Amino acid sequence: MTSFGERLRSRIDSRGPLCVGIDPGTALLHAWGLDDSPAGLEKFARTAVEAAGDLAAAVKPQSAFFERFGSRGVAVLESVVADARAAGALVVMDAKRGDIGSTTAAYAQAYLHPDSPLAADAVTVSPYLGFGSLRPMTDMAFAHGAGLFVLARTSNPEAGEVQLATGPDGGTVAGSIMDRVSDLNRDAGPLGSIGVVLGATLHDLDYPVERLNGPILTPGIGAQGATFADAARLFATARRNVLPSVSRGVLAEGPDLARLRSAVTRLTAEAREHLSG
């Protein structure tokens, strides 16, 4: 069994550092000439996977856009997981789950246990019920070679009121979360399996990100205004571990498959130029 960190290091090195988000919202389905329906969702999702699955290091389906169609949407999400993996891409399930006790354990079974049809290579999780509440997730990840991306400093502007709040020691909540991630990745190689989510739109980051020894999933590039150069500057001491996530910058080229694949190839080259080495 290889760890998620090992698999991600291999994919980034061989395919380049790009994660393609699959976010089939109503407006985007209509822009592709598709109905906002389970049938439209399936056509969209299959095309997106066909465009990126054999090119990008990872794909990141946002589960909410599938869940809104109920069981038929979740069935499409299951096919995204299976088809993307068959094409060689890692799957990061963007679910942002976080709870306590048996509920967290159930989320871990849903998204990280290999017997689940929704089992991904990694899942995004929220630590804001206390980092210790993630224990069932971390245990499941380590047991089955999966990974987590823990929300630390996100790209939405309102996040600072929680993430930059300070504790008795004067440190921020986000800094404490990253310290805990660093502890989980200690001595892992070539890359730890517990990552963080850090927005590329941040203007500064008062944390030595090289200490994380794990992957950095960074949204905010493209439609939100950040660039690959911004990510390279912000995470300079750990840039080889950065996995930039781009959704609209790719999906806006649909539904034409050739244009979608061209966008993935172009953005991968840009990401590699700024973040490799």
Residue numbers annotated as active site: 96
| Nearest Cα residue to 119 out of 98, 89, 101, 92 | 92
Residue of 12, 7, 11, 6 whose CA lies nearest to 277: 12
CA distances from 184 to 63, 79, 114, 145, 212 (A): 26, 31, 22, 14, 9
Question: Is there a contact between 148 and 188 (Cβ–Cβ < 8 Å)?
Answer: no
Q: Which residues pair with 147 in a beta bridge?
A: 122
Helix (H, G, I), strand (E, B) or coil at 254: coil
| 36 conformational bin, left if phi > 0, alpha if psi -120 to 50, beta if neither | beta
